[in-house]
Structure 1
């Protein structure tokens, strides 16, 4: 069995595909999805438009085009929920997401007691710079996010120096979008520092949902769902990978 994401991932444009500056981004995304024959789409509308023209070469995956456009609007990458509905939604900071489920150690626990946590503290940046695409008439937008939290072991205050990561050619339709992108990329560069692997019962969770995890040590952790796998046996459990929110 394949996920419905394969429909747009394996479909490509036959000719060079171009969109002019000023194109409304979200309607363009919907049009590309529908060109693959899919019509079940849940869309959060937006007035965002492309600040400059974009072009993709023939043979480019439609999913690549869709996600490039969604990034420019400050949206999540395209995903499908359990009912097969394509979801086009704005990115939401983990701190602003509701907790979808609380995993708590005890008699009513729905997760196995064995779990693991991995940390990689090397080269974690405390500054992220995102550089957009300029043209002859306007310089590129630049978004900068920094970690200056004195309580963080990775902050500028804790290290006494900047460790910078950078993305160039970022598609962003406004300064707020590229600032949000830089903040998200800095957070993503830090969240792999703590990866939780947990096995739990079958639950109605979606990628990027926020969960609370209280194992036997009693410490409450917040994490976002990154990956879920299962078999097709009648008694299957979910092998989940989460990123702890710090």
Structure 2
């Protein structure tokens, strides 16, 4: 079942990085009301009464439900043409899609689809207002849990099983039908397991990233890409040789922070295959032997080992399974090594999402390195800024 592109969004024209960063911009946000039916969302109007300066959105890369947010809405007696009052919609069914509009650049950027978490009311002499908490569309799969145990066998393509689980929750996803890899052994989940956990467990056996929701609100299942191999879209730099300079052309605030955590960073990871009957579990190991790394065996003179137990693997011969386990071990070692350096910086909104790669450079701090976006906090109003957490990329 495909998800049609809802109306109401002007396709983003191809822009250069310079246009996005330095073009004339007047930013505004609209909150589109969507109706869900048959696994798809369609546009029914725009929400009226959103209080200026009240809206915010955030995303965290390692959260199962990655997106959240909030806004305050007044209950209006009269609405502008094409808009809906909060009294005209069912909060239990409400789905909102915020769209950031940058006039002058022709950018209309949808920021995901969100459901209502809670909506406490406030009453005053002027009427009613609601403070609405938002969670992204993955909430549907997180809240829908198994009524009985569920199994996926070795004959079903893994992505097909992912699609089946998502559709059982009344949602839909487009998958790559050419990927027909199956499980190396059957997987079983007990009753009350969230369907989002099942989906992410299955995606993990393909070495895919966890399920995410794109700006248009579509579920996405995509292969994991090592941070060092991700393309860089934007750079946060200082120095006169770059356009992102301190001063009137800078898009980020001069005050920023960096956290360093050097304790307990492993230099070896061992991934152990989940039990598969009487056969002994296979293992895959990845070690940090980089003589220039402060965490390597050469630098420390000892091994600090992290283990990944019970790793589910796809079907394949012993060599391919070991290679899969080694890739998982490498992925874990890189992630564990990267936590030692995290930058937080506040800047003008740019079209990025968590897990994207960016370059952060600061001459006084002697930093010039690729980073990945681990969290974003967006003030979703015309004068709002973005607060982005960046983790330095370690390639091993």
- Aligned with 1:38 (options 160, 166, 171): 171
Check conservation: 1:113, 1:215, Cα contact below 8 A.
Answer: no
Check conservation: 1:26, 1:46, Cα contact below 8 A.
Answer: yes
Where do 4+ consecutive residues of structure 1 move more than 4 Å?
42-45
* Cα separation, partners in 2 of 1:53 and 1:67, compared to 1, 3 Å: same
Match in the other structure for 1:224: 372
Could you tell me how far apart the structure 2 residues matched to 1:81 and 1:186 are? 27
Distance apart, 1:12 and its partner CA: 1.3
**TM-score normalised by the chain length of structure 1:** 0.94
Distance apart, 1:216 and its partner CA: 4.9
**TM-score normalised by the chain length of structure 2:** 0.59
Distance apart, 1:240 and its partner CA: 1.2
Larger radius of gyration between Structure 1 and Structure 2: 2
Alpha-carbon deviations, 1:140-173, whole Å to 9, x = none? 2211110000010110111111110111111122
My pick for the range that moved more, 118-127 or 17-26, is 17-26
Distance apart, 1:29 and its partner CA: 0.9
Query: 1:59 aligned to 2:207?
Result: no
Gaps of 5+ in 2: 1-133, 239-244, 315-320
Note the 1:199-218 alignment, pairs <5 A.
Answer: 199-217=346-364
Match in the other structure for 2:257: 116
Check conservation: 2:159, 2:175, Cα contact below 8 A.
Answer: no
- SS across alignment from 2:161: helix
**RMSD of the alignment, in Å?**
1.7
Match in the other structure for 1:97: 230
Note the 1:1-246 alignment, pairs <5 A.
Answer: 1-41=134-174, 43=176, 45-105=178-238, 106=245, 107-173=248-314, 174-217=321-364, 219-246=367-394
My pick for the range that moved more, 215-224 or 10-19, is 215-224
Q: How many residue pairs are counted as aligned between the two chains?
A: 246
* Cα separation, partners in 2 of 1:180 and 1:230, compared to 1, 3 Å: same
Distance apart, 1:40 and its partner CA: 4.5
Could you tell me how far apart the structure 2 residues matched to 1:11 and 1:231 are? 30
Alpha-carbon deviations, 1:184-211, whole Å to 9, x = none? 1111111110111111211111111100
Match in the other structure for 2:67: none
Structure richer in helix, relative to its length: 1
Alpha-carbon deviations, 1:11-55, whole Å to 9, x = none? 112211111124311111121112222225464852321111111
Could you tell me how far apart the structure 1 residues matched to 2:353 and 2:255 are? 22
Check conservation: 2:173, 2:220, Cα contact below 8 A.
Answer: no
- SS across alignment from 1:143: strand
Could you tell me how far apart the structure 1 residues matched to 2:383 and 2:169 are? 35
Could you tell me how far apart the structure 2 residues matched to 1:89 and 1:162 are? 33
Match in the other structure for 2:41: none
Check conservation: 2:234, 2:359, Cα contact below 8 A.
Answer: yes
Check conservation: 1:119, 1:195, Cα contact below 8 A.
Answer: yes
Distance apart, 1:229 and its partner CA: 1.4
